[in-house]
Amino acid sequence: MKREIIPTVLLADDQPDVREALRLLLKSAGIASMGVGDPAQALDAVRRREFACVLIDCNYQRDTTSGEEGLELLEQLRQHAPEQPVVVMTAWGNVTLAVEAMRRGAADFIEKPWDNARLLHVLRTQIALAQSTRQQSRLEAQNALLRGEEMDECIAESPAMQRVLALVARVAPSDANVLVLGENGTGKGVIARRLHAMSGRAAQPFVKVNMGAIAETVFESEMFGHVRGAYTDAKSERIGRFELADGGSLFLDEVGNVPLSQQQKLLRVLEDGEFERLGSSRTQSVDVRLVSATNADLGADVAAGRFRKDLMYRLNTLEIRLPALRERKEDILLLARAFLERSARRYQRDRLRLAPSAERALTAWHWPGNVRELQHVMERAALLSEHEQVSAAALAFGMPSEAAQDIEGMTLEQAESWLIKRAMERHDGNVQQAAEALGITRQALYRRLEKHELRDESNDDL
């Protein structure tokens, strides 16, 4: 479960007795504090860690009353951490100085000697506003990551998958790191989500990262975030995936693709729960349950020097191996019917069902692409079947899974046109052969060629 974090306020004042009085006041209100005596120490503290709020004096040198030191410190703090609330306090308060401090980005202004109730009210308000702003930023980033994702149903009647689900049920409540192994398309992401849903972190974020899609040059920015100005195009701050998953679960898919040069950085946050955003020296802490997945042989990668042994041990505190679809034949028809029903709803063909010939063909196929391939086959069948009963001819086995993925995001019309064009290309324009491959009649294919203005694709002499 996510730990409770006590807010900490940075107190910047040159008088030790003032800092001590403020510390005691904040402590009585359940707020932690850290004191520093000059602007340089304040800047160094903010660079090193995150504070709920910063309370700064306006004057630090003896006999100085202009407030310029505090205003300069305020500007430096705002440049380094624009989201950091800063409250300005001085014994020489006046309207002009207060207006200037607010103009330069101060969240509020307090005069010495302070009123305890007002000071606590101001700090609590700014702490709450900052927490709300950070939470909103996290939610927006999480929603951008999760938008369009669908929770897959876990269908498992076979003994092989029943054993997997029993193991998941045992390990899910723990916070131990889990490594999910299996061929491409076996459903490693479904198991990762199930581990999260059955854990004590279920109400917290589940953040997925495809490690194979992250270039080495942006690894740190994607995983740990960056501050404004960290590099040329960093126009604003970015929240990294570890920070987004704080309190919840982080799923590293295709973890075997993490570049060797970045594996030490990943190892450190797994060991200590600490990291720095790119361009910042401030150390941040996170509480994350890690689930990883790969189809690679990490042991072989370690032996070949492509993967760190200590990182592998950190990832696989517990290990779950998923069987290939050919090893769980009892689930094939159950999965096929579920996928066909889902696609039928999507394409408004609710009466589709599998013919006996299709069921025999499905159980006889070797499924090199596993569950993902089966899902794509059922979607194509929902698109192209001429009748409510899907025959074996309409299944179109063997289409490359990477090509089938292009269907995602298409409309029904676009997908049908794309599939017909592909079939005509594979059969050199032979309408009869293309029609047989698609599981439709020659006449039906002619109608679709006309409909999609693909008539020039055919070779009527063949």
Both 310 and 333 in one domain: the answer is no
Indicate the SS3 state at residue 187: coil
Q: What is the pTM of this model?
A: 0.61
pLDDT value, residue 190:
92
Q: Specify which of 67-71, 145-149, 289-293 reaches the highest per-range mean pLDDT.
A: 289-293
pLDDT value, residue 371:
93
DSSP 8-state assignment for residue 455: G
Both 62 and 202 in one domain: the answer is no
Lowest mean pLDDT among 145-154, 250-259, 297-306, 313-322: 145-154
CATH number at residue 58: 3.40.50.2300
Instruction: Tell me: pLDDT of 116 over 80.
Output: yes
Specify if 149 maps to a domain.
no
pLDDT value, residue 84:
83
Indicate the SS3 state at residue 280: coil
Both 268 and 288 in one domain: the answer is yes
Q: Where are the beta strands (DSSP E) in 29-151?
A: 32-36, 53-57, 86-90, 108-111
Last residue of a domain, one of 91, 107, 141: 141
**Mean pLDDT, rounded, of the chain:** 84
By percentage, how much of the chain surpasses pLDDT 70? Answer: 86
pLDDT tens-place string over residues 119-169 = 999 999 988 888 777 766 666 665 555 444 444 567 888 999 999 999 999
What's the number of domains the chain is made of? 3
pLDDT tens-place string over residues 330-386 = 999 999 999 999 999 888 888 899 988 889 889 988 898 899 999 989 988 888 787
Both 345 and 450 in one domain: the answer is yes
Query: Hey, what's the torsion of the CAs at 201, 202, 204, 206, to 10 degrees?
Result: 100
Both 341 and 448 in one domain: the answer is yes
Does residue 164 contact residue 319 with C-beta atoms inside 8 Å? no
Q: Specify which of 83-97, 151-165, 293-307, 426-440 reaches the highest per-range mean pLDDT.
A: 293-307
Both 128 and 17 in one domain: the answer is yes
Residue 421's pLDDT band, with cuts at 50, 70 and 90, is confident
Q: What is the domain range of residue 300? A: 159-323
Does residue 179 contact residue 315 with C-beta atoms inside 8 Å? yes
Both 191 and 295 in one domain: the answer is yes
**Helices 16-28 and 116-146, packing angle to 10 deg:** 70
Both 211 and 318 in one domain: the answer is yes
Both 256 and 191 in one domain: the answer is yes
Both 194 and 289 in one domain: the answer is yes
H helix or E strand, kind and range, residue 209: strand 206-210
Specify if 115 maps to a domain.
yes
Specify if 462 maps to a domain.
no
Burial call 82-112: b when 16+ CB within 10 Å, e when fewer: eebbbbbbbeebeeebbebbeebbbbbbbbe
